[in-house]
């Protein structure tokens, strides 16, 4: 079981941004957002799914690990907890993950995406865990981990938001890359689905959700921001364009 969160106000930032054309450019942009979050006295900053490497299994693993090491150092330098979406390759297995770096500059842990859709190039994660930083007990979910989209999620489907709350989390950080649908009517349906899932789960289990997406050129079918345990947005970004958001939880 996770430790109960101690009641305190925390400042949480998120980056609604697209991956750049290469790891070095993505790292450079990430550092600008980390600096801004630091200047705004944020305690946490969340990045989208596979942000650092781009959504491809063909990333340069050596360059990725070198960039992640510099991001770890930035967490310590700027005294901010960083949740970075990235690809990772280890022992011949490629995973879609979020690395959690504490403001002490330590690797607090990793969440690997559990509910894959058609991503046959990736190895699924095996276990959901919770983290405890700055007195906050939280879980990390990656894209489909949260909403388990019907007809594209196969096998026995665990209800991961409920599992996170059962483990003691009072916040779910949701790292997303969701922007591919081009048909306007389908995009509207998907946005209704994603937003309703965020708000309904927040209200149903009394949990706060922080969501950061790669919006793509058309805008993502989900709003980034912070949803409170009453299902209402504390911060809500427009779903188009790159944006920084900040709120208190």
Question: Domains of the chain, with CATH numbers?
Answer: 11-248 (3.60.110.10)
Average pLDDT over residues 8-14: 94
The residues near 2 (Cβ < 8 Å, ≥ 6 apart) are: 130, 132, 137, 167, 168, 169
pLDDT at 6 over 60: no
- Residue 7: the pLDDT is 53
Average pLDDT over residues 166-179: 95
Q: Tell me: the pLDDT tens digits for 103-112? A: 999 999 999 9
Retrieve residue 171's tokens. 């916040």
Quickly state the pLDDT bin for 39 (edges 50, 70, 90).
very high
DSSP bridge partners of 243: 16
How buried is residue 66: exposed, middle or buried, by Cβ count under 10 Å (0-12/13-18/19+)? middle
Average pLDDT over residues 31-51: 98
Q: Tell me: the pLDDT tens digits for 51-85? A: 999 999 999 999 999 999 999 999 999 999 999 99
- Residue 5: the pLDDT is 45
Radius of gyration (C-alpha) of the chain in whole angstroms: 16
How buried is residue 169: exposed, middle or buried, by Cβ count under 10 Å (0-12/13-18/19+)? buried
Quickly state the pLDDT bin for 1 (edges 50, 70, 90).
very low
Average pLDDT over residues 199-207: 96
Please indicate whether residue 189 or residue 151 has the higher confidence score (pLDDT): 189
Average pLDDT over residues 177-188: 83
Average pLDDT over residues 93-97: 95
DSSP bridge partners of 210: 173, 226
Dihedral angle sign, alpha carbons of residues 45, 63, 19, 181: negative
């Amino acid at each position: 079981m996770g430790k109960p969160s101690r009641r305190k106000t925390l400042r949480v930032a998120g980056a609604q941004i697209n991956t750049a054309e290469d790891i070095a450019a993505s790292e450079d942009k990430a550092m600008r957002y980390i600096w801004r979050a630091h200047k705004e006295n944020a305690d946490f900053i969340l990045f989208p799914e596979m942000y650092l490497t781009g959504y491809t299994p063909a990333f340069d693993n050596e360059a990725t690990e070198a960039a992640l090491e510099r991001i770890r150092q930035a967490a310590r330098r700027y005294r901010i907890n960083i949740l970075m979406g990235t690809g990772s390759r280890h022992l011949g297995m490629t995973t879609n993950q979020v690395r959690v770096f504490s403001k002490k500059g330590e690797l607090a842990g990793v969440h690997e995406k559990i509910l894959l859709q058609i991503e046959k190039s990736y190895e699924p994660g095996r276990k959901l865990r919770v983290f405890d930083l700055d007195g906050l007990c939280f879980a990390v979910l990656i894209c489909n981990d949260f909403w388990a989209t019907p007809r594209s999620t196969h096998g026995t489907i665990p209800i991961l938001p409920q599992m996170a709350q059962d483990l003691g989390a009072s916040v779910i950080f949701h790292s997303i890359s969701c922007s591919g649908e081009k048909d306007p009517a389908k995009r509207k349906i998907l946005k209704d689905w994603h937003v309703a899932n965020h708000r309904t789960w927040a209200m149903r289990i009394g949990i706060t959700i922080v969501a950061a997406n790669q919006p793509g050129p058309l805008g993502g079918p989900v709003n980034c921001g912070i949803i409170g345990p009453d299902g209402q947005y504390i911060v809500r970004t427009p779903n188009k364009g790159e944006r920084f958001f900040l709120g208190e939880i």
